[in-house]
Amino acid sequence: MRILIGILSELSHERRLERMAESLRRAGHELRVTWVDNGTHPPSSAWPKAELIRLPNARAGRRKSYFARFMRQWYRLLHEERPQAVLAIDPPALGPAALAKARLGYRLIYDSREYYIELPTVRSRPVIRGIWRCIEGYGIRRSDSAFSVCSSIARELERLYGVRNVGVVRNMPGYSYNRDSVHDRRRLQQLLPELGDGPVLLYQGGFWPGYDFAPLLRMLGKLAGNAARSQLVLLGDGPGAAALRELRDTLPWKERVHIPGKVRSDLLPELTRGADLGLIPIPDLGLSYRYILPNKLFEYLQAGLPLLASPLPELQAIIEQRDLGRCVSPQDESALASAVTQLLDPAWRVAREEAFARAALDLCWEEEESRLLECFRS
């Protein structure tokens, strides 16, 4: 089947979409994917050039109309390509795809990567929120199938738009768990030659508005015993990076905080194996954040890391039910310090070896991709 995938992205860090595309290729489908050329971030090497369709940078010019420019370009492309099936990712791609479907007659599959109308930048603007809600509702009711990244968002979409059978395709990496390679620090030490020999607390992701990493940095001063030697490594970039480095430089233990910036996504699995604890300090900024189930959770599991996360429902359902770590407020320095001390205890981790091995086996893309393929078959 000829599948056209529409997404407003430069395709530089779309790990989930890369895995989905590879699964569809292996199933015998022919793919074409939109690539929004923003002039700064080229697509990752995972994308064959032959299947990319370059769209001009929709952000060029007036920022307020860049969504409209992308949607117009995408609508024209649908008529030019005339695919047999369309995978529309998020409302900006869904709206035009639902409009064109009536004339072109393709199968339409909707992928809701996040609770779009509950994003902080959307929910705080009632008129904009209402527009996206109308677009998403119009599109999902005309889709042949739809899925999201977690069951909470899938159930919200069903309730909000009166649709049924919204599926779940979680954002999971491939299976790579190897208990013999846990805590292999070679790649992490190559990236950070100044890294100390204490336990490594790792965060990978963005430094976005609303995220507050200050309690994590200050928490290092509350640790005792072996945990007092802990090194905090924050891999990523974003609007808050400069302020975070400024805060780091004011702390007496600044040499134990490492903020090297963004790293290539294909290097993350090896870097993650060098850590001792995986951090997911996500703020509760509305339903889109509350229901988050990020890729980093599953990457930490494949690396065998104990997990310290915010007490959000989707995170708690995996971490606490499987006894893989702790969920505490990312603002509570004392609770963070207590949890780090517990999770760095070698006896705690050894007692749960089988739980970690089972979680890595259950929560990987090899187990998840059948859900994706079913959306194209059903």
- Residue 142 structure tokens: 């005309």
Tell me 284's DSSP state.
-
Residue 1: is its pLDDT beyond 70? yes
Beta pairing partners, 168: 148
Residue 319: is its pLDDT beyond 80? yes
Read off φ and ψ for residue 234, nearest 5 degrees.
-115, 105
- pLDDT of res. 130: 97
How far, in Å, CA of 293 to CA of 110, rounded? 18
How far, in Å, CA of 24 to CA of 216, rounded? 40
3-state secondary structure of 47: coil
- pLDDT of res. 62: 53
Of the candidates 286, 363, 288, the residue with the CA atom closest to the CA atom of residue 322: 363
- pLDDT of res. 378: 65
Of the candidates 211, 217, 216, the residue with the CA atom closest to the CA atom of residue 237: 211
Task: Match 């977690």 to its residue by tokens.
Answer: 150
Least confident of 65-69, 70-74, 338-342: 65-69
Sign, CA torsion 311/244/8/174: negative
38 — pLDDT class (breaks 50, 70, 90): confident
Residue 4: is its pLDDT beyond 80? yes
Over residues 181-187, mean pLDDT = 80
Query: Which whole-number Å values give the CA distances from 351 to 182, 189, 198, 273, 324, in the listed order?
Result: 15, 28, 22, 19, 11
- pLDDT of res. 209: 87
- Give this prediction's pTM: 0.91
How does pLDDT run across 57-67, given as a tens digit for each residue?
766 555 567 89
How does pLDDT run across 139-174, given as a tens digit for each residue?
999 999 999 999 999 999 999 999 999 999 999 999
Over residues 190-212, mean pLDDT = 92
- pLDDT of res. 64: 62
- Residue 243 structure tokens: 């302020």
Residue 261: is its pLDDT beyond 60? yes
183: left (phi > 0), else alpha (psi -120 to 50), else beta?
Answer: left
- pLDDT of res. 40: 77
Residue 104: is its pLDDT beyond 70? yes
- pLDDT of res. 90: 97
For the residues of 242-274, what is the DSSP string, one character each? HHHHHHHTTSTTGGGEEEEE---GGGHHHHHTT
Of the candidates 256, 254, 259, 302, the residue with the CA atom closest to the CA atom of residue 278: 302
Compute the mean pLDDT over every residue in the chain, rounded to the nearest whole number: 93
Read off φ and ψ for residue 94, nearest 5 degrees.
-70, -45
- pLDDT of res. 183: 75
- pLDDT of res. 181: 73
Task: Match 């480095």 to its residue by tokens.
Answer: 245
262 — pLDDT class (breaks 50, 70, 90): confident
- pLDDT of res. 360: 97
Over residues 264-272, mean pLDDT = 87
- Residue 90 structure tokens: 């998020």
- The answer to whether residues 215 and 232 touch, using CB atoms and an 8 Å cutoff, is no
- pLDDT of res. 61: 52
Angle 207-209-214 from CA coordinates, rounded to 5°: 60
Query: Which whole-number Å values give the CA distances from 271 to 55, 245, 354, in the listed order?
Result: 33, 21, 23
How far, in Å, CA of 353 to CA of 180, rounded? 12
- Give 325: exposed, middle or buried? Use CB within 10 Å, 0-12, 13-18, 19+: buried
- pLDDT of res. 321: 95
Over residues 346-372, mean pLDDT = 95
Over residues 208-228, mean pLDDT = 93
For the residues of 200-217, what is the DSSP string, one character each? EEEEES---TT---HHHH
